Amino acid sequence: MTLDAFLYPVELKQEKEVVISKRFLDSDGKPVPFKIRTISQEENEALSKRSVRIKKIDGRQFEVLDDLEYTRRLIVACTVYPDFTNSELCQAYGVMDPLMVPGKMLISGEYKRLLQEIMKFNDFTSAVDLEEEAKN
Residue 134's pLDDT band (cuts 50, 70, 90)? very low
pLDDT at 127 over 60: no
**Separation between Cα atoms, residue 38 and residue 123, nearest integer Å:** 9
Residues of the chain above pLDDT 90, percent: 70
Q: What pLDDT score was predicted for residue 126?
A: 60
Q: What pLDDT score was predicted for residue 132?
A: 55
What are 34-64's pLDDT values in tens digits? Answer: 999 999 999 999 999 999 998 888 888 888 8
HEC readout, 16-81: EEECCCCCCECCCCCECCEEEECCCHHHHHHHHHHCEEEEEECCEEEEEECHHHHHHHHHHHHEEE
pLDDT at 94 over 60: yes
